[in-house]
A and B are shown apart, each in its own frame.
Chain A
Amino acid sequence: MTLPPATVSTRGGGLSTAARGRRKPSLDRISFMAVFLGIPLAIYLLFVIWPFLQAFFYSLTDWSGFSPSFNFVGLDNYARIFTDDLFLKALGNNIILLIVVPLVTVVLSLILATLVTVGGSSKGQIKGLKNSSFYRVVSFFPYTIPAVAIGIMWGQIYDPSGGLLNGILNGLGLNFKDYAWLGNASTAMWCSIFVIIWGFVGFYMVLFIAGIKGIPSEIFEAARIDGAGRLRTALSITIPMIRDNIQTAYVYLGIFALDAFVYMASLFPNAGGPENTTLVMSQQLFFTAFQRGQFGMATAMGVVLAVATLIFSGLVFLVNKLTGGSDGGRL
């Protein structure tokens, strides 16, 4: 899918640059390059790359963020955060999110996307489900809503006395009276996970629908002639054909699950939730930096977060490669 345009464009680009390179640099050309590359690059280096680099350095110091002086403490910060129970608790919570959120979101959005695209007739041409664009449009709604608003809204839905969920459950005759979904350590995390999934499924459903529609219909038809049923078609054709889309989705969702700051901060005004069951590393980082004034320690947490992200992305690429996918040129 990506290969043909890429090869064509390299050839075209190469030719034109070669032709251009021979001309003498004029004032027009120099000013053009200086402005076009210089300004964006300066902003990017100063506000993105420079802070990233600083983070690695500060993680080795005891900088408070407010005093100009600091001491170099080596790997002390790392040793301390890995013996800090609260940070380890947060790390564990992030790992739960990392395991559950991408898996459930991808599976659910794949199922919904499959229903929309191949829910039609099993004979003749592959057809999508009739009148299904409504579902697609509606499912995408949460992606347009700020995560803070999603968190606040669901906080109210889960409210023990006035919330929609208990209203429905009690109305159905189930006795949940005043159960505090977000206030109990046993349900807080799962309820939060549901909210996060609610926020993401629509986007990935639309992404997968686009991917499935990009599969040449001859392939589906050939499989049908060979007698493959719907389930078989979905497992043996749809999923392998859009595996790069699935990989991209998995990486993005994983990166998000390792962060999850916005959702947890807006669902739980008291950071951490009941017995810190919903505390995530990013909240701990934020708290360490801006409440306790331990910038050095906080950046060390940031480095751990970054390393975890890289390991996870690497694992997803590796699994995709080992199971026979392309080496994932896109992300």
Chain B
Amino acid sequence: MTLLKQQRVSAPAGHVEREAKTTAGDKAVAATSHVVLAIWSAIVVLPLLWTFMSSFKTSNEIFASPFALPGSWKLDNYIKAWSEAGIGAAFMNSVIVVCVSLVLVMLLGSMCAYVLARFTFPGSKLIYVLMLAGLTFPVFLAMVPLFGVLKGMGLLNQLPGVIITYVAFALPFTVFFLFSFFKNLPGEIAEAAAIDGAGEWRTFFQIMLPMAKPGLASVAIFNFLGLWNQFLIPVTINAGGPKVLSQELAAFASQMGYAVDFGALFAAVTVTVIPVLIAYILFQRQLQGSVSQGTSR
């Protein structure tokens, strides 16, 4: 990026002069581009705004007109969704499960990636291939036997069971990404640390891990989104346990056929969407960088 900018600055003067001209054709292309992109943005944003607006309406108001503004901007629907429908409890469950899983998978994943990237030992290639298999095979294939495994361990329908499954299934992606990251870190620094008498443990936690921070941040963001949005795993192995957010939301929506309270449903969806959306808007620069990093390796 910086390289490109420098080149631009140092481009010959004639170049810059030509740049300034805009032809009619250019304007037409730019205008068309803006129109097409604006239409797509509207298709993305309108449903979200409509959902937000509807979350303040009563069921009657929703059926009267999809466009009319709510009669009053009261939080009744939110209170109903949060406490009566159990979205609040599920939200907290999700926060706990995702945070614990995220810390664990980042720690275990970076440890495993570090060992695979910096040491060669018999079997290291095999472990790498096993990780690749975990990324390629559909999660669905594992779900039914996994149900049996967790049942056998007494972890079925329990949040710790969900956490350990999240960690296990997020591990291959984490290891893969960080593997290339640790490989590209200069080995001399670890050597220098070893010469200065730092053991392997200390080298990892005090030197290598801090150096891998940019990579860790990118993986953590993607793992967070992946785990927060996870549905299949909890619905399979936690059907009878304390529900996580996506699970509770689906359960709430499927009851709706009987007790029609669409306002509360819209409120529940809004509660699910807003926190992550705000976090995304705040950190979007970081995230855009991660997408390019994550895919160009």
- Footprint of B on A, CB under 8 Å? 1-2, 5, 8-10, 12-13, 15-17, 19-21, 26, 28-29, 31-33, 35-37, 39-41, 43-52, 54-55, 58, 65, 111-112, 115-116, 119-125, 127, 129-130, 132, 134-149, 152-157, 161-164, 166-167, 171, 198, 201-203, 206-207, 210-211, 213-214, 217, 230, 245, 248, 255, 258-259, 261-262, 265-266, 269, 282, 285-286, 289-290, 295, 298-299, 302-303, 305-306, 309-310, 313, 330-331
Q: Which of A15, A148, A164 contacts B246 (CB 8 A)?
A: A148
Collect the chain A residues with CB atoms within 8 Å of residue B75's CB.
none
Nearest residue, chain A, Cβ from B135 = A331
A39 touches B108 (CB 8 A): yes
Find the B residue at minimum CB distance from A26: B199
Nearest A residue (CB) for B276? A144
Contact A48 B169 (CB under 8 A): yes
Q: Which residue of B lies closest to A261 (CB)?
A: B232
Main secondary structure of the interface of A (DSSP, over half): helix
B135 to chain A, nearest CB (A): 8
B6 within 8 A of A: no
Which residue in B44, B168, B295, B296 is a CB contact (below 8 Å) of A46?
A: B168
Does B225 make an interface contact (CB < 8 A)?
Answer: yes
**Interchain CB contact under 8 A, B168 and A123:** no
Judge whether A302 and B143 touch: CB under 8 Å. yes
A-B residue pairs in contact (CB < 8 Å), sample of 27: A12-B186, A16-B187, A28-B201, A32-B200, A36-B112, A37-B112, A40-B108, A43-B168, A54-B145, A55-B142, A65-B147, A116-B37, A121-B21, A123-B23, A141-B280, A144-B277, A144-B279, A145-B273, A147-B231, A156-B265, A156-B266, A198-B43, A210-B295, A211-B295, A261-B140, A269-B253, A286-B143
CB-contact partner of A141 in B33, B48, B108, B201, under 8 A: B48
Q: What residues of chain A lie closer than 8 Å to B296, measured between beta carbons?
A: 1-2, 210-211, 214
B159 at the interface (CB under 8 A from A): no
8 closest pairs, A vs B, by CB? A124-B19, A210-B292, A16-B187, A167-B66, A47-B168, A119-B33, A54-B145, A32-B200
Task: Give Cα distance in the complex from A306 to B236, angstroms.
Answer: 18
* Given known A15-B187, A141-B277, A217-B4, contact A152–B138 (CB-CB < 8 A): no
Contact B171 A309 (CB under 8 A): no
The residue in chain B whose Cβ has the minimal distance to the Cβ of A130 is B30
Partner of A306, one of B114, B138, B148, B273: B138
Distance in angstroms from B8 CB to nearest chain A CB is 6
B58 to chain A minimum Cβ distance, whole angstroms, is 12
List of A residues within 8 angstroms of B186 by Cβ: 12
- Which parts of B134-187 form the interface with A (CB within 8 Å)? 134-149, 164-165, 167-169, 171-172, 175, 180, 183-184, 186-187
Contact A255 B44 (CB under 8 A): no
Extra contacts, 4 of them, besides A52-B145, A137-B281 (Cβ < 8 A), are A48-B172, A144-B279, A290-B239, A306-B141
B36 within 8 A of A: yes
A122 touches B136 (CB 8 A): no
**Contact A122 B187, beta carbon cutoff 8 Å:** no
B73 lies within 8 A of chain A by Cβ: no
Contacts of B180 in A (CB 8 A): 5, 9
Residues of A within 8 A of B33 (CB): 115-116, 119, 129, 132
Chain B positions 36-63 with a Cβ under 8 Å from a chain A Cβ: 36-38, 40-41, 43-48, 50-51, 54, 62-63
Tell whether, in the assembled complex, residue A44 and residue B130 are in contact, meaning their CB atoms are under 8 Å apart: yes
Residue from the list B117, B133, B183, B228 in contact with A49, Cβ < 8 A = B133
Distance to closest chain A CB from B133 (angstroms): 7
Interchain CB contact under 8 A, B112 and A41: yes
Q: How far is the CB of B9 from chain A (nearest CB, A)?
A: 11
Name A205's closest neighbour in chain B (CB-CB): B40
- B95 on interface, CB distance cutoff 8 Å: no
Q: Which one, B30, B46, B138, contacts A129 given CB within 8 A?
A: B30
In whole angstroms, how far apart are the Cα atoms of A37 and B50 in the complex? 49
Q: Is B92 an interface residue (CB 8 A)?
A: no
Known: A157-B50, A261-B232. A52 touches B133 (CB 8 A): yes
For residues 202 through 238 of chain B, which have their beta carbon under 8 Å from a beta carbon of chain A? 204, 225, 228-229, 231-232, 236
Q: Residues of A contacting B246 with CB < 8 Å?
A: 146-149
Asked if B228 and A132 make an inter-chain contact with CB atoms under 8 angstroms apart, the answer reads: no
Cβ contacts under 8 Å, A119 to chain B = 29-30, 33-34
